[in-house]
Each structure stands twice: as structure tokens, then as C-alpha cells.
Structure 1
Amino acid sequence: MKSIEAIKQWMLDHPTSTALIKYLIWVIFIIGIIQFLRRLLRKNLPDSTTRYKSQKGIEVLGYFLILLLSISYFTGNIKDVALAIGLLTAGITITLQELILSIAGSVYIFFVKVYQPGDRIEINGIKGDVIDIDSIYTTMMEIGEWVSSDNYSGRIVKLSNAFVFKGPVYNYSKDFPFIWDEFDLPIRYGSDVALAKDIIIRIASEQLSKYVDDSISKWKTVVDKYYIEDAQVQPTLALKMTDNWIQFNLRYIVDYKKRRYTKHVLNELIRKEIENTDGKVQLASTTVEIIRVPKLNIDKSDKTMPNVE
């Protein structure tokens, strides 16, 4: 009993310390509840999307409660919210502006749906697949760098959510999960151009028919939603005359995650078909054409230097 009375007397003698201890206990309690609810949702919700959004919602709610608790502690009255927000903002904006911007970015990402887990994006010069979004950072599985094409590099990148306000965000999968890709085929002069065009368009149409069919409905949604004209989603072929060959440029639509593999398949099938034309169509390579061979007049009396005409 004496120890309890001593604690009560100490609390009466030190009201500021007592209030601070109570504040910290409440903060720890709220954080503990948040973690408990997150684990509970993770175990009991089977759908990954619902589970992820529910956990993030609990996290945001917890931060909001801590904010209200902080306002109540510093002002002594929860009704003075407007005054407290003004005082707190004036005091911490300069020192915590990056943190504040990151939290604001997370709210912006969540409500505007700039991107979500599973999307492939490029932001601040970094390209990758989004694997997590929390209140401060976006976590990405990096693509590219020293690895060619659209392969994972193996690095996990944490990027501040504040970057959504500092530059463009390229989303490869939002609204329209397809991209246009192209490659060039050098066809030798003297080849059957009509046959070459038929081979390339036929193979591209056969291999890309599923992407074309799926993209038509998706593109219609984009046209209805945004101020944009209709686009050609069928494979197209353009020819260009160069000094060494006829350049065939094939442009087509493809799933944004299968760009590299699709290009490999198209190149392999087109090459085999061209080889089966028995020389009617030939792939070209850089060549050097000698216009004239110079004549050499050798003066037998002068053994130092031949004369070249």
C-alpha cells in the first residue's frame, strides 16, 4: 500500500512526467492493437488483395488515432484541433517536410490509385514491379540496369512516396496492360518483297491474335475514359530503303510482361520461314561492294615502290 501511495504522490508532484508516461503508454497500446489486427487479418482473409488493403486501412486508422492522441496531449483539449494542427504544422513542417510529403504521397496513391501492388511502373528513373506500398515507402522489384530488356535485376528498391509529386509516374499496367513494341528486319535487295511482307504479317497475326483481341476491349475503355483517339492494334509493317538493304519495321501490341519473349518467338519463326523460301527472300547484312580493282604497273627496274593507277 505504501508503494502505491508513493506512486500516487509522485504522479501528483510530477504532472508533466505523468502525462508523458500516459501518452507513451497509449501510443504503445495503439501500435500493439494495430499489429494484432494486421496479423489477425493476414491469417483470416484468403484473398490477397482484400487482405493487403485491409491491413493498410488498419495502419492508416492507427496513425490517425495517434495523431488525435498527440493533439489532445499537447493542447489539453481535443476541441482545439484547428489550433493544434496549426501549431504542430508550424513547428515540424521544416524539419519533417520529406516525411510529411511521403505520408501525403501514400494517401494520394491510395485514393487516386496512381499505382498499386502488382503494377509495373517507372518513377524517378527506376523501373520495376510494385510489391508493397506503406505509409512512407513504395517497394519495387527492380527491372533492367545491368540486365537487358525487362528482366528482374534481383534488387529490391524502396522509394519515398514523395516522388509521386516530383515527377512523372509511368504505369505499364493501369487501364491498358499492353504496350507497343517493334523491331527491324533487313531484307536483301533482289528478294521477293511481296513474299517477305506476307511471311512477316502472317506470323505476327497468328502469334499476336490473342493480344490483339484482348487489347481491343481494353483500348475502348481507355478511349471512353480519356481524351484520346482510337489506335491501330493490329500488327503493321513499314518499309524503308537504305544503302544496304530494305528495312522492314514490324510494329505490334504485346502484353507488357511478355515483350522480350514475344520478340524472341517472332524473330525465330520469321527466320525459319525465310530460310524455307529457297533463296527467294534473304536476310541482309552489312556488305562492302568493290567498284573497281586498281591496276598495278610494276617497274622491274625500280624495286622500291610499285606504281598504282
Structure 2
Amino acid sequence: MFDPAATSDPTTVQPFMSDWLEALVSTALLVLVVVIARAAVGRAIKRGVASHDLRRRWLVQTRNGLLLLLLLGLVIIWGSELRTLALSVVAIAVAFVVATKELILCVSGSVLKTGARSFTIGDRIQIKDIRGDVIDQNLLATTIMEIGPGKLTHQRTGRVVVIPNALFVSEPVINESYTHDFVLHVFTVPFKREDDWRTAQRALLAAAKHQCDPYLPEVRRHMKRISEQQGLDTPSVEPRVTMQIPSAGEVHLIIRVPAQAPRRGYVEQAILAECFEHTDYAAPKQPESAAADNPDTI
């Protein structure tokens, strides 16, 4: 690094100027020697070689050899200065990378999501605990309209989240709109083991079919077209209700229905409202006298 205080000292300036002056004189002498040598050798070749092809070959080889000799001489003469310059360039490059690390990661994340075609404007995505509809994206950040609260709801919170593209380098992205116009929507209804969950299962399936029947043929055509484009098997779009037992005392009914991407929340609420409109499927309460007589309930 250049130090003004050091250069103001005559004992420091004199060796510095002496080294540069010596390097410049050596460079001039080297160039002069190479020029004279090329002229002398070229004259000797032209006089001593009769064949035109051989003479041209010798002239070219001599020129290339002297040029290589000149480059080697310059490297030897300016070696210490080149090392100093290289160290300075490396230090500047390292400082630049450290100072702009986040910006570089953002640009890398933008290139990654664009190359992988992870999502487009209008898709509903989730990254870490952030979930929403993509409304804008650029080289440094992606803007989404937040959906929530939580992962099970499908209504907008009114908040906008700006996600730095650096997250796409290290975190997986969930695209809930991969099939675009229509999606397969899944939600869960929990019950206790003693509840009338079997009747609820039949009621949920009937409500799901009732809500999906009007647009089910259109969903089949859409899914078939997407499968042909992506080279995948056509998924079944029929509404279904499956059972899951997460613990000994619980039964979860998993409902999967096709729905238009922006109306998945509406379809879910319509199915739940139709199913639970007249009954809650809870287990009947035992009379207090019967509970007292039965020691297993204590």
C-alpha cells in the first residue's frame, strides 16, 4: 500500500526510485538487444539460405523465439513488481467479494430459479415459513402476497413479503401451483377414536363429489394435457377421503379434491360447511351414573 509518510522520507524514496530506474534501463537494453539480434539473424538467414520456403520458416521461428525471449526477460526484470501488483489485485478482489457477498448470492439465486423454472408470476409458493402468491420478481428479490395465517389456510393476509433471491440458493421451494389452472387440494379433518368418524367419512366424500362434479370433466382434460406436456402419468382427479391414525386416540380424515387454483379455499370451506351443517359427529356423552358405574371411565 502506498504510504505518503514513507515516501516523504529520502531514505525510502531513493531505493524505490532506484529499483524502478534500474528496471526501466534493463527493459530498454533487453528490447535493444532483441531488435539488434533479430536484424542480424534475419540478415544472416537471407544471405545464407537459398530456399524460399526454408528461409521463411527460419525467419518465422527466429521471430517467435526472440519474442519468447523478450517476454521471459520482461517477466524476470519486472517479477517483483508483478508479484506486488498480483497481491494487490487479489486483495481488492477478496474485499469486493466479501463486501458484495449477499448481492452475489441474490444474483445467483435469480439465475438458479430462472434456470430451474421453479415458479412464475401468479404461482403460490412456500419457502421456509413464508407462503404466498408471487406478484413480482427481479434480479435481487421476489415479492409475494402473503397467504395465511399458517400453512392450512388459503386467504390473503394483506401483507406483502419481499424475499431476497439468496434464499433460493440454500432453501427448497414448494410450488403449490405447478399444475396451473387446476390443482389437487388436500386438507385434514381430525376426529377422536370414539367419534362417529365413519359416518363423517362418507359425508365428506359425498360433499366433495357434490362440490367438484360441475367442473370434474374440465379438470380431467387439463390434467391429461399437463401430463402429456411433462411426460408424466395422468393423476386421478376423483375426490377421495382416506384415513390416517397419527396417535392411538385420534383418526384423521385426509380429503383430496380437484379445484381451481384461486378457489381452493372456497371449495374446502364449502365441503366442510355441507358436511357439518346438521351434525358434528361427536361421540354421545355417557350419563354420569353410567360413568360412575363403569370403573374403566374413571
Specify the TM-score bucket, using the shorter chain as the normaliser: 0.5 to 0.7
More displaced 10-residue stretch of structure 1: 217-226 or 237-246: 237-246
Contact map agreement 2:190 2:250 (CA 8 A) in 1: no
Residue 159 of structure 1 deviates from its aligned partner by 1.1
Tell me how far apart the structure 2 counterparts of residues 103 and 152 of structure 1 sit (CA, whole Å).
28
Of all paired residues, the percent bearing the same amino acid is 21
Q: Please give the TM-score of this superposition, normalised by the length of structure 2.
A: 0.53
Could you report, residue by residue, the CA deviation over 1:69-108 in whole angstroms, capped at 9, with x for unpaired residues?
xxxxxxxxxxxxxxxxx97865522221210121232233
- 2:274 paired residue number: 269
- 1:234 paired residue number: 238
Contact map agreement 2:195 2:283 (CA 8 A) in 1: no
Tell me how far apart the structure 1 counterparts of residues 171 and 197 of structure 2 sit (CA, whole Å).
50
Match of 1:284 among 269, 281, 284: 281
Aligned residues: CA RMSD: 4.1
More displaced 10-residue stretch of structure 1: 235-244 or 205-214: 235-244
- Residues 284 and 131 (structure 1), Cα distance of their counterparts in 2 relative to 1, 3 Å cut: same
- 1:212 paired residue number: 216
Letter of the 2:256 partner, please give it: R
Tell me how far apart the structure 2 counterparts of residues 271 and 184 of structure 1 sit (CA, whole Å).
11
Letter of the 2:213 partner, please give it: S
Tell me how far apart the structure 1 counterparts of residues 173 and 250 of structure 2 sit (CA, whole Å).
39
Tell me how far apart the structure 2 counterparts of residues 155 and 232 of structure 1 sit (CA, whole Å).
35
Letter of the 2:235 partner, please give it: A
Residue 247 of structure 1 deviates from its aligned partner by 7.4
Residue 114 of structure 1 deviates from its aligned partner by 1.9
- Residues 128 and 196 (structure 1), Cα distance of their counterparts in 2 relative to 1, 3 Å cut: closer
- Residues 90 and 250 (structure 1), Cα distance of their counterparts in 2 relative to 1, 3 Å cut: closer
Match of 1:157 among 144, 158, 161: 161
> Structure 1 stretches of 5 or more lacking a match?
1-85, 276-281, 295-309
- Residues 94 and 270 (structure 1), Cα distance of their counterparts in 2 relative to 1, 3 Å cut: same
Contact map agreement 2:188 2:252 (CA 8 A) in 1: no
Match of 1:180 among 182, 185, 205: 185
Q: Which residues of 2 match residues 191-206 of structure 1 at below 5 A?
A: 197=202, 200-206=204-210
1:118 maps onto 2:115 in alignment = no
- 1:255 paired residue number: 260
Tell me how far apart the structure 2 counterparts of residues 109 and 166 of structure 1 sit (CA, whole Å).
12
1:136 maps onto 2:140 in alignment = yes
- Residues 250 and 123 (structure 1), Cα distance of their counterparts in 2 relative to 1, 3 Å cut: closer
Residue 163 of structure 1 deviates from its aligned partner by 1.3
Residue 286 of structure 1 deviates from its aligned partner by 4.3
Contact map agreement 1:244 1:287 (CA 8 A) in 2: no
- Residues 189 and 209 (structure 1), Cα distance of their counterparts in 2 relative to 1, 3 Å cut: closer
Tell me how far apart the structure 2 counterparts of residues 265 and 292 of structure 1 sit (CA, whole Å).
38
- Residues 94 and 148 (structure 1), Cα distance of their counterparts in 2 relative to 1, 3 Å cut: same
Letter of the 2:100 partner, please give it: L
Which structure is larger by alpha-carbon Rg, 1 or 2? 2
Residue 130 of structure 1 deviates from its aligned partner by 1.2
Aligned with 2:132: secondary structure? strand
- 1:104 paired residue number: 108
Contact map agreement 1:120 1:173 (CA 8 A) in 2: yes
Residue 259 of structure 1 deviates from its aligned partner by 2.6
Aligned with 1:118: secondary structure? coil
- Residues 170 and 262 (structure 1), Cα distance of their counterparts in 2 relative to 1, 3 Å cut: same
Residue 169 of structure 1 deviates from its aligned partner by 0.8
Tell me how far apart the structure 2 counterparts of residues 147 and 200 of structure 1 sit (CA, whole Å).
21
Aligned with 2:219: secondary structure? helix
Residue 172 of structure 1 deviates from its aligned partner by 1.4
Residue 160 of structure 1 deviates from its aligned partner by 0.8
Q: Which residues of 2 match residues 37-56 of structure 1 at below 5 A?
A: none
Residue 115 of structure 1 deviates from its aligned partner by 1.8
Residue 258 of structure 1 deviates from its aligned partner by 2.2
Residue 253 of structure 1 deviates from its aligned partner by 2.3
Contact map agreement 2:123 2:175 (CA 8 A) in 1: yes
Structure showing the higher helix proportion among its residues: 2
Residue 171 of structure 1 deviates from its aligned partner by 1.1
- Residues 129 and 89 (structure 1), Cα distance of their counterparts in 2 relative to 1, 3 Å cut: farther
Letter of the 1:235 partner, please give it: P
Match of 2:96 among 86, 89, 92: 92
- Residues 211 and 172 (structure 1), Cα distance of their counterparts in 2 relative to 1, 3 Å cut: farther
Aligned with 2:154: secondary structure? coil
